[in-house]
Structure 1
């Protein structure tokens, strides 16, 4: 068997901490994966993996071999990608922010897959913090300021934010003309999946960002529920403009305090420090960056 294929299998087992999951990712029989690693350990004369009933973990020799394999596989992919006719191939596993992806990414996805027919794409959806290495994910698309030393991040967009409410809410509470007018208002609280805390509203005043924590009778964790609750008149919300553009145009939501907008929200793609940026991840990042840039011009 090709030694590069053996390295790919070994690194996947280390990352997934499972023979079964690694074999599934690479579409290998489980029994074949086991035999290949046994032959590898015999050839090298060292124990690479510690096997328990719950998971698989690299030994000290296994960790050293893993780092060498990652570097070698990255160099091979870079060398092949240097040729103009080399095409990204294989399975690309991403985890994404669902609302953003459905609005900007999915409509253009058929053209992306047609351009790279040797790619297979698996999309997981969520805002939770994921362990990219152990879960076998190549990169994640996330909204907001993210700080994770275990990942490399590339900012791919800045989303314009807007404060809004329903006409019924404005009829009851009035339309504020300044930040000080918010004392008689309520918000729908959005709970951060990262911190578990309810996020305050944010306004830009004379170039400075000001945070305002309003009382909330409702807190949510879903962006879709957040907008739906605002349309029912339950409070003020702050969301990316693209998410409510149709509602603003239809009048089911109205902009509030447009002269004091929230600061724009960054969108980032992140991938592990331990991996070199493979051609398939690189083309996906470049494509997403371009799609978000061009799509926002129409928002």
Structure 2
């Protein structure tokens, strides 16, 4: 864990008198503040604060460490200010799902690296959420309506989904006219969701939910898309995943009067303080591409 950040967190706890206030001031989660405080106490080899349900009290060892941690924070700020205007450089570890790598980041990265040749990107592809700290990830790009707790979430854009099926499936089974009709169809769905329902909004903006079931599930949208092309059933997938098949007629959209729930695309990282220039530039590039 970053000891300079731990020192900064410890300083803010002492200044504000509580872990919750420090979390709000630093824009990080309360559990992360506790972890940084634990790191400081391990580093110092002593208890720095007495914690009770009513208040925090600094220990004699804490008083001594506070003076040193303030000096360390000031030194870190001076170093950061000296390099604040430098060009993005260094290694940037990015985590994302397979479809995000293929359709969002893959097209952006070559131009980004050409623009910032001193940056090296390590792309970690994993369809499950990763530990930013444990896996040493600088930023995770996720399509979700529920960002992982304990991280800063910067909204980069939106992911629009479509419900689609092959022409052969629709000819054999007919096309659903309302979300309620999905109960009569084989719906291909994401395996990592315990309860299966698809959410829509109608022309009046009313939210509708339809329970779905089917004989195939997968954790990767490209596999669901391929199954739909093969005539297995209806799939709700990101529009960017289905676009090529929709354009060449291998898939057709259904339920055009109902808009599937739109999910946000987030960049998740641990702290806004001392954010590397490479990370800021990368997030800006992704956001610019998604909102163009």
Shorter-normalised TM range: 0.7 to 0.9
Question: Which residue of structure 2 aligns with residue 190 of structure 1?
Answer: 190
Measured in 2, the distance between the counterparts of 1:160 and 1:280 equals 28
CA RMSD of aligned residues (A): 2.8
**Aligned residue number for residue 231 of structure 2:** 233
Is 1:163 the counterpart of 2:163? The answer is yes
SS at match of 1:283: helix
Say whether residues 1:200 and 2:197 are aligned partners. Answer: yes
Q: Which residue of 2 aligns with 1:173?
A: 173
User: Contact 2:4 / 2:76 at 8 angstroms: preserved in 1?
Assistant: no
| CA positional deviation for 1:73 | 4.2
Pairing of 1:113-132 with structure 2 (within 5 A): 113-132=113-132
The separation in 2 between residues aligned to 1:207 and 1:186, in whole angstroms, is 26
C-alpha distance in 2 between matches for 1:161 and 1:71: 48
Q: CA deviation at 1:67?
A: 8.0
Compared CA separation, residues 72 and 144, structure 1 to 2 (3 A): farther
Match of 2:26 in 1: none
Aligned 1:3-42 pairs, distance under 5 A: none
The 2-side partners of 1:11 and 1:129 are apart by: 26
CA 1:59 to 1:100, structure 2 compared with 1: closer, same or farther past 3 Å? Answer: closer
Residues of 1 paired with 2:140 and 2:98: CA distance? 11
Distance 1:245 1:151 in 2: 32
Q: Partners in 2 of 1:106 and 1:266 — Cα distance?
A: 19
Q: Secondary structure at the match of 1:110?
A: helix
TM-score for both structures, normalised by structure 1:
0.71
Tell me what 2:248 maps to.
250
Q: Equivalents in 2 of 1:135, 1:211: separation in Å?
A: 36
Contact map agreement 1:74 1:278 (CA 8 A) in 2: no
Structure 2 contact 152–272 (Cα < 8 Å) conserved = no
Displacement of 1:228 in angstroms is 0.9
Deviations 1:94-127 (A, max 9, x none): 1112222222322232221122122111110112
- CA 1:70–1:61 in 2, change beyond 3 Å: closer, same or farther? farther
SS at match of 2:132: coil
Gaps of 5+ in 2: 6-37, 49-64
Whether 2:43 is the aligned partner of 1:62: answer yes
